[in-house]
Amino acid sequence: MSASVPTATLHPPKRGAISIRGITRIFTGSTPAVDHVDLEIHAGEFFTLLGPSGCGKTTLLRMLAGFETPDEGKILISGKDMEDVPAHKRAVNTVFQSYALFPHLNVEQNIGFGLRMKGVKTPERKKRVNAVMEMMQIGQFATRSAAQLSGGQRQRVALARALVNEPDVVLLDEPLSALDAKLRSELQIELLRMQKRLGMTFIFVTHDQHEALVMSDRIGVMSQGRLEQVGPVLDVYEKPRNVFVAEFLGLSNIWPITPTGPHSAASPIGELGIAAPLNGASMAMIRPEKIWIYNDTAVPKDRANLFLGTVREAIYMGASTQYRIELAGGQSVLAFDTNNQAAERSWRPGEPVAVELKPDNIMLISP
Amino acid sequence: MIPRGVRYALSGISWPLYALLYTPLALVAYYSFAPAPNEAGHSLHAYNLLLHDGDVFSALRRSLILAIGSAITSTALGTLLGYGLCRFRTPNAKGVLAHIPSLIIYTPIIMPSLVFGISELIFFNLVHNATGMLGAGLETMIIAHITFQVPYVALTVYARLAGLDRYLFDAANDLYANGLKSFLYLIIPLVQPAIIGGFMLGITLSIDDFTISFFTSGPGSVTLPIYIYGAIARKGISPEINAIGTLMIGTIILLALIHFFITRHRDRAGQFAARGSIS
């Protein structure tokens, strides 16, 4: 342990870094809501906790804020142990799903509440509240009550109320879920820009995989209180570790496999050539957009993993079309094709086609 | 849609009911203007008598001390109780446990005041015999009145708090307010209309109460309702009693109007609050 002391002094934990070590939270009479979670979140990172409802992501967030006390484990924020630090003393601010704007205060007073509680004097407080209102473009609503605002405006006020305190970490609990699709995607981009500009650590909780992909630097996928996979967006999407992560983030084709050689395996659709070393893997996955579709008359020669089949379903989705193709053996594969021609080029149900599963597009996952 | 026939029948019932409710009140007012002895026509004689009746005024003074004193105390205690029941309810409680807050609040309200009064009497007697303190008088009455008003205040405060977005408390906590600051800067402003309403209700209940007062009063603590009861028992219903009744009706109507305007204001604010939260 003596070696770790100089290391720690050379690299003091940065403001906004979070270290979660073996955190467990069990509500009486049920399975653990959060089950031995270890997680390092870097300073200035946009980190997303992604998972279905009830997976424990909100409980984990509430433990970071201090609203819930972990039954086991440690949380360090900016290097400080949070064990005996109550919520009102943590340099962390939350944006709630319901926004939780104070109904008895106007916009300006809502935003200034934290500073007022901290004892920041009026002139200074006014200056900071005005600055953040200008940044969020909500200055014209300063004297309105929360009830007189639209959903998007409330969301901005809730964010402003957190940001004005210049916390180490901003926690966001599904803050966009109550908004309509268009406003939502606008605010996603705005939130992201804001975070990059301020350089604060943002921890974002959502069940929307698309939102997670768009916004995050890194994603932690949660299921039943456990972290299934943590990593950069690209890694988690392209190289999911297991079936849950593969299926939760987007569509996928998943088959059980039995290795037959160093780079080949038997699968329900036939013998597959796989670029990655098999190492006794038992499942293979390929994303639909990574499958190539050919007319049965124009099938390339001498390629690995070519399968003949028939289109059973074609769903036009604007930018692309989603096909379900039944292979000769009766198995189906899901494939996307980009609609990159002005003239229609899509296949219709019943048409014979061939699909190519390139060996390096096939990923190995665990069950 | 209510069928037309039913609607007519209902209004046919409602008017006699209103008459039944308000005719006696009107009669009290009418008889209070009875002529003075050996004179004819209406007069303010009864009111004149009342004005010079020292006993009535000391009874009224005691009633007001009792009402205001008990209402202030019970408002403070009831607010804390309502807040505590709401804030510290167990979110995962099932069955009977989940209803404990409402059981605690409702049981004293549905308890017949006769039972309440007698039990208070027994309790005060016991304490008095054992310690020499709490002899029947204004003190015991104030304690008894506080006891029966607290649930009403707690109920109004609890109802207001339970209707709010529960994340508001977390939000205050998150924004550096400790328990005390949350209470002062969030809870009190939010429940203020309920506190005022509870206080008004407490005063009304206290002035109105006879049963509990009767069992807990002593010889030197005659309040207005007890005085009226005594006066009627001795010499029947005099114009003076009617005059007291009329004045009380007037006061209560006034208080009810004030309460109405306060709660109307609160409901408007409440609508905003309701729209402000998404559940």
Q: Which of A88-97, A155-164, A165-174, B35-44 has the lowest mean pLDDT?
A: B35-44
Task: Name the packing angle between helices B138-162 and B100-110 (round to 10°).
Answer: 140
CATH architecture assignment, domain A17-91+167-239: 3-Layer(aba) Sandwich (3.40)
Residue B94 has pLDDT above 90, yes or no: no
Residue A177 reports pLDDT greater than 80: yes
B175-221 pLDDT tens trace: 999 999 999 999 999 999 899 889 988 998 998 899 999 999 888 88
Asked if the Cβ–Cβ distance from A102 to B177 is below 8 Å, we say no
The pLDDT mean for chain A works out to 91
**Residue A259 predicted with pLDDT over 80:** yes
Domain ranges for chain A, please list them: 17-91+167-239, 109-166, 251-365
Q: Could you tell me if A86 lies within 8 Å of chain B, comparing CB atoms?
A: yes
Contact B276 A147 (CB under 8 A): yes
Residues 74-133 of B with CB under 8 A from A: 92
| Interchain proximity B272–A165, CB inside 8 Å | no
To the nearest whole Å, the CA of B195 is away from the closest chain A CA by 15
Q: Do B165 and A98 touch (CB under 8 A)?
A: yes
Quote ipTM for the complex: 0.84
CA distance B208 to chain A (A): 34
Which is nearest to A223 in space by CA: A56, A7, A22, A29? Answer: A56
Residue B116 has pLDDT above 80, yes or no: yes
By DSSP bridging, strand A72-77 and strand A18-25 are antiparallel
In chain B, residues with a C-beta closer than 8 Å to the C-beta of A118 are 176
Residue A360 structure tokens? 């390096």
State residue B278's pLDDT score: 36
- Contact between A65 and B278 using a beta-carbon 8 Å cutoff: no
Cβ of B9 under 8 Å from any chain A Cβ? Answer: no
Contacts of A148 in chain B (CB under 8 A): 272
**Residue B3 pLDDT:** 86
Among A37-41, A347-351, B264-268, the range scoring the smallest mean pLDDT is: B264-268
Query: Which chain A residues are within 8 Å of B174, Cβ to Cβ?
Result: 65-67, 87-88, 92-94, 114
pLDDT at A319: 86
Q: Are B222 and B62 within 8 A, CB to CB?
A: yes
The better pLDDT of the pair B263, A92 is held by: A92
pLDDT at A99 over 60: yes
Vertex B93: Cα angle to B88 and B99 (nearest 5): 80
How many CB atoms lie under 10 A from the CB of residue A311? 19
For the stretch B19-29, pLDDT in tens is 999 999 999 99
B172 vs A contacts (CB less than 8 Å): 102, 113, 117
Q: Closest approach of chain B CAs to the CA of A22, in angstroms?
A: 24
Q: What is the pLDDT of residue B167?
A: 93
**Residue B178 with chain A: CB contacts under 8 Å:** 86, 88
Contact of A102 with chain B, judged by CB distance below 8 Å, is answered with yes
DSSP track, B80-96: HHHHHHHHT--TT--GG
Query: Taking residues A128-151, what's their average pLDDT?
Result: 92
Which among B28, B162, B34, B192 has a CA at the least distance from the CA of B88? B162
Best mutation target, A25, A64, A115, A117, to test chain B (most B CBs within 10 A): A117
In the DSSP assignment, the letter for residue B187 is I
Per-residue pLDDT, A6: 45
**Distance in angstroms between the alpha carbons of the first and the last residue of chain B:** 31
B188 reaches A (C-beta below 8 A): no
**CB within 8 Å of chain B, chain A residues 40-59:** none
Would you call B138 an interface residue with chain A, using a CB distance cutoff of 8 Å? no
Is the pLDDT at B171 greater than 50? The verdict is yes
A173: nearest CA partner in chain B: B167
Query: pLDDT digits over B9-18, tens only?
Result: 888 899 999 9
Q: Output the pLDDT for position A202.
A: 96
Q: Is the pLDDT of residue A63 over 70?
A: yes
**Mean pLDDT value across residues B112-140:** 90
pLDDT for the residue A8: 45
Collect all residues of chain A within an 8 Å Cβ-Cβ radius of residue B171.
Answer: 94, 96, 100-102
**Above 80 in pLDDT, residue A29?**
no
Q: Which residues of B touch A117 (CB under 8 A)?
A: 172, 175-177, 181, 185
* Residue range A196-207: mean pLDDT, rounded: 94
Q: For helices B188-208 and B239-275, give the axis angle rounded to 10 degrees.
A: 160
Residue B256, helix vs strand vs coil: helix
Subunit contact A103:B167, Cβ cutoff 8 A: no
Q: Please compute the mean of the pLDDT values over residues A125-142 and round it to a whole number.
A: 93
Topology of domain A251-365, CATH: OB fold (Dihydrolipoamide Acetyltransferase, E2P) (2.40.50)
- Whether B185 and chain A come into contact, CB under 8 Å, resolves to yes
Residue A78 touches chain B, beta carbons under 8 Å? no
> What gap in Å lies between CA A138 and CA A190, rounded to an integer?
14
State mean pLDDT over B139-157.
92
Is the pLDDT at A327 greater than 90? The verdict is yes
Give Cα A264 distance to the centre of its chain: 33
A288 token code pair: 């639909």
What is the amino acid identity at position B161?
L
The more confident residue out of B255 and A208 is A208
Please report which confidence band the pLDDT of residue B276 belongs to, taking 50, 70 and 90 as the band edges.
Answer: very low
pLDDT at A301: 82
Report pLDDT for B61.
Answer: 92
Nearest residue of B to residue A146, measured between CA atoms = B276
Residue B177 in contact with partner chain A when CB distance is under 8 A: yes
Q: Whose CA is closest to B174, among A107, A167, A39, A103?
A: A167
pLDDT, tens only, A291-305: 999 988 888 888 889
Return the pLDDT at B268: 58
Strand order in the sheet with A270-273: A258-261, A264-267, A270-273
Distance CA(A193)–CA(A345), nearest Å, equals 38
Q: How far apart are CA B140 and CA B117, in angstroms?
A: 11
Which residues does chain A have within 8 Å of residue B273's beta carbon, measured at their own beta carbons? 103, 147
Given an 8 Å threshold on Cβ–Cβ distance, is A100 in contact with B189? no
Specify the pLDDT at position B269: 54
Instruction: Please report the pLDDT score of residue A344 as a whole number.
Output: 65
> A118: distance to nearest CA of chain B, Å?
6
Cα A118 to the chain's mean position, in Å? 33
**Domains of chain B in sequence order:** 46-275 (1.10.3720.10)
- Between chain A and chain B, the number of residue pairs with CB atoms below 8 A apart is 96
| Residues ≥6 apart with Cβ < 8 Å to B123 | none
Residue B176: which of A104, A117, A146 has the nearest Cβ?
A: A117
Looking at every residue in chain B, the average pLDDT score rounds to 86
Query: How does residue A279 score in pLDDT terms, banded at 50, 70 and 90?
Result: confident
Using the predicted structure, report yes or no on whether residue A256 has a pLDDT greater than 50: yes
> What local confidence, expressed as pLDDT, does residue B102 receive?
75
**Shortest CB distance from B175 goes to which of A97, A113, A154?**
A113
| Chain B contacts in chain A segment 117-156 (CB below 8 A) | 117-118, 145-148, 154
Of B174, B178, B279, the CB nearest to A94: B174
Measured between beta carbons, which residues in chain B are less than 8 angstroms from residue A98? 165, 167, 277-279
**Cα–Cα dist A366/A283, whole Å:** 6
Nearest CA in chain B to A171: B174
Asked if B178 lies within 8 A of A67 by C-beta distance, the reply is: no
* Chain B positions in Cβ-Cβ contact with residue A101 (cut-off 8 Å): 171, 276
Please say whether the beta carbons of A57 and A50 come within 8 A. Answer: yes
Kindly determine whether residue B92 and residue A148, on different chains, have CB atoms separated by under 8 Å. no
Can you give the pTM of this predicted structure? 0.80
